Amino acid sequence: MNAEHGLRTVLITGGTRGIGKGIVRWLASHNYAVAFSGRDQVAGEALENEIKSEGGVASFIKSDLNKSGSVTELINITVTTLGSLDVLVHNAGIYPEQALAGITLDDWHSVLDTNLTSGFLLSQAAAPHLANSDSGRIVFISSITGPRTGISGLTHYSASKGGIDGLMRALAVELASQGITVNGVAPGTILTESLAELYAEPGLMDSVTKIIPVGRMGSPDDIAATVEFLASTSAGFITGQSIIVDGGQTIPEVQGNS
**CATH number for the domain that contains residue 72:** 3.40.50.720
**150 occurs within a structural domain:** yes
Instruction: Supply the pLDDT for residue 157.
Output: 95
pLDDT of 257 strictly over 70: no
pLDDT of 256 strictly over 60: no
DSSP 8-class letter at 245: E
Instruction: Supply the pLDDT for residue 258.
Output: 47
**3 occurs within a structural domain:** no
Length of the chain: 258
**254 occurs within a structural domain:** no
CB 57 within 8 Å of CB 35: no
User: What mean pLDDT comes out for the span 194-217?
Assistant: 85
Name the residue range of residue 27's domain.
8-241
Instruction: Report the distance separating Cα 202 and Cα 55, nearest Å.
Output: 40
**221 occurs within a structural domain:** yes
CB 15 within 8 Å of CB 37: yes
**255 occurs within a structural domain:** no
pLDDT of 164 strictly over 90: yes
pLDDT of 175 strictly over 50: yes
Cβ atoms within 10 A of the Cβ of 76, count? Answer: 12
**2 occurs within a structural domain:** no
Its pTM surpasses 0.85: yes
**249 occurs within a structural domain:** no
Considering just the CA atoms, what is the radius of gyration of the chain in Å?
18
pLDDT of 105 strictly over 60: yes
User: What mean pLDDT comes out for the span 135-144?
Assistant: 97
User: Which residues are annotated as catalytic?
Assistant: 157
pLDDT of 19 strictly over 50: yes
Total domains in the chain come to: 1
Nearest to 94 by CA among 199, 17, 148: 17
**190 occurs within a structural domain:** yes
Instruction: Report the distance separating Cα 14 and Cα 179, nearest Å.
Output: 26
Provide the angle, in degrees to the nearest 10, between the axes of the packed helices 18-28 and 220-231: 50
Number of H helices, E strands in the chain: 9, 7
CB 212 within 8 Å of CB 246: yes
